[in-house]
Every structure is written in C-alpha cells, then in structure tokens.
Structure 1
C-alpha cells in the first residue's frame, strides 16, 4: 500500500507512510491550523445556545488562500464587482450567509486538521523509518476534508484555477522554486483520490 490508501476489512482505510511523508503531512496540517486561526476566544460565552448564534465575519478574508477555503456563497470570486442591483443583492446575501456559517466552517476545518495531526502523533513505527496509518471510516472522512483543504491552499499559492493551470505545473523545470510545492500538491491529490475510493460502497 505504499503511497496510496487501501480499504480495510470492515471499513476504514490504511496507508504506509515513511518518516519524511509523516513529517510533511504533519507540517502542512499545522500550517493549515495556523492559517485558519485559533478557536473561540477564552472569553467566549459558556452558553452553548449563545455560541450557536454567535455571528462571524461578513466580509471575505483578504488572504487569497482563505478566500479559497471560505468562498462567497452567492458571488463569483473572479467576477469583477458590478454596480447593478443584482450584484449588490448577491453581495448582501453572501455577507449574511458568511456571518452565520463561517465560524462553524472554520471550526470543522480546524477539527479535521487536528484529527490528522493527532492520528499521525499516535503512529507506532513499523520498521525501516515508516509506519502504517489505519483510519476508521469517521477518521477517513476527517482526513479527506483536511487533504482537500491542503490541496486548495497549495493550489491557491500556485495560482491554479483550472485544468490549464494544472497542465502547466506538470512541466515546471526541476530548478523552479515552486517545484516542491507542486510535488506536494500532486502527492496529496493521489492520497485524496485513493482515500475517496475506500469510502465508496
């Protein structure tokens, strides 16, 4: 199973990872956590009902990666701002939707990244500098969410927006400084694809 996930009997998935791969995934998940930001502040209300209705931001993030992770619900991020009433209404709907959903979305992405780090920290060495990671179905879903977020983040940094961009990164010369990021993007894509296949009935 080197380099890709395989299904486990009874559900779940397994993948063999060497020490370098474990270190890369852990580092990327940690960076994702730092990018998404901390959880609720210590002075947040203890009342779960109040926390449920706590409002989040209404404006999209300035960072292009966060914009990709938390896109507007009703606006095309690539669309040039228009002055039409319809465009204004879409922006208003997007702001309202963001205000009531982004906090929960950020929390879910944090939990997924933390689940990846936690499962890697629990790995027992399997010899020769590697280990076999075994995930339950629920853990597989969290990993899938985190892998997707990591690829979105890397893809945003590489300015990948469509298939043509993906084709061009395959042809980067080895001396290009983006090459390691491209290799990580492609490798994570392989992990993501094979993990999806283990979750299919």
Structure 2
C-alpha cells in the first residue's frame, strides 16, 4: 500500500488510493463506528433532550474504548486505590458531561471518512480533502490507530518490533494496517503544514 497524502495547497490535501486501500480504510472506519456506538443515552431524536443528556460516569470496560474515552483526571498508571475519592469523583463528573459529545465527534469524523471513500464509487481514485476535512480525517485516523494499538498491545518501546513480525504471525494484517495508518497520519500532517 503506497497511497499517502500530498499537499493540495491552503491546508488541503489529496491522496491517490487504489481500490484495495479504499476498501480497507472504509472497512476499518465502519468497524470504528460500530465500536463507538451511540453511547448510553446518546441515541435520541429530540435535539433539546440530546442537549441536556448526561453520559456515563464510569470509564468503559473495553480497553480500546477506555483509550478513546480516557478519564480526564487521575493518573492512568496508578491503580484506583492510589487516587483520592475526590479525583475519581471529578473524573466521573467530567465524563458524565463530555463523553456523549466526544462520541458524537468521533462518529462524525469516521462518517466523514466513509462518505468521502463512498464518493470514489467503490473504486480507487484521487481523493481531495478541503482543509476542514483534513482535521476530521486526522481525528479518524488517530482513533483507528489508537484502537489497533490497544488491540495489538503496542507499547511505544515495542513499536520497532512490529516491523520484524514473521508473515506467519496472526497479528500481521492488523500490524500492517496499524503501520499504514501511522504513515497516512504522518503524511496528512505534513501535507496540511505545507
């Protein structure tokens, strides 16, 4: 997979994706949408009720979701018993009022990527992103990479070892996707900085 972003000027970017690359990226984003879900109390058609809806107060049990929706307070490296009750309560309170909005933003980022890829008509082609869309894409790519990193149990110091996995390792396809997403993310950052 060689499709990487290039600058299209003015903070916009373009990428040439073949059919396989577009299909893989779309599939990953659809899976992200399923993982994120609407969230507790987040599936309401009443805009006023949605405005005042409260989210969950506890961190998600799924480690990937916990990485996407981390606690705002406390040290994730310390066990819960090392934190004060006040810190835990502040984290619960913050989550209650922010997680639904964060879920909605992450869903919109992923949907923007899916819609753009759908615009290619199921085939490869050149995809041009406006400057505002680039930021949504960065968010969506970051969410995918974080999720895959958790699923693969990637630690920063172990990342180099991912390149050396044998082809027979069952994690190899996910590792390839993880590394490709990192290259996409880096190339998009470089493209919008030009």
- Counting helix residues as a fraction of each chain, which structure ranks higher? 2
Aligned to 1:58: 57
- What secondary structure, in the 3-state scheme, does the structure 2 residue paired with 1:14 have? strand
Aligned to 1:112: 109
- What secondary structure, in the 3-state scheme, does the structure 1 residue paired with 2:80 have? coil
For the pair 1:102 / 2:99, whether they are aligned, the reply is: yes
Q: Contact (CA 8 Å) 1:124, 1:131: kept in 2 or not?
A: no
Q: Unmatched 5+ residue regions in structure 1?
A: none
Separation (CA, whole Å) in 1 of partners of 2:118 and 2:101? 25
For the pair 1:159 / 2:159, whether they are aligned, the reply is: no
Q: Contact (CA 8 Å) 2:3, 2:18: kept in 1 or not?
A: no
Once the 2 structures are TM-superposed, how far is the Cα of residue 198 of structure 1 from its aligned partner? 1.7
For the pair 1:29 / 2:29, whether they are aligned, the reply is: yes
For the pair 1:147 / 2:149, whether they are aligned, the reply is: no
Once the 2 structures are TM-superposed, how far is the Cα of residue 200 of structure 1 from its aligned partner? 1.8
RMSD: 1.8
For the pair 1:41 / 2:38, whether they are aligned, the reply is: no
Q: TM-score if structure 1 supplies the norm length?
A: 0.88
Q: Contact (CA 8 Å) 1:172, 1:179: kept in 2 or not?
A: yes
Q: Contact (CA 8 Å) 1:56, 1:100: kept in 2 or not?
A: yes
Which structure would you say has the larger RCO, counting Cα contacts within 8 Å and 6 or more residues apart?
2
**4+ residue segments displaced more than 6 Å:** none
Q: Unmatched 5+ residue regions in structure 2?
A: none
Separation (CA, whole Å) in 1 of partners of 2:113 and 2:153? 25
Once the 2 structures are TM-superposed, how far is the Cα of residue 124 of structure 1 from its aligned partner? 5.5
Q: For residues 58-137 of structure 1, what are the structure 2 equivalents within 5 Å? A: 58-82=57-81, 87-123=84-120, 130-137=124-131
Separation (CA, whole Å) in 2 of partners of 1:115 and 1:73? 26
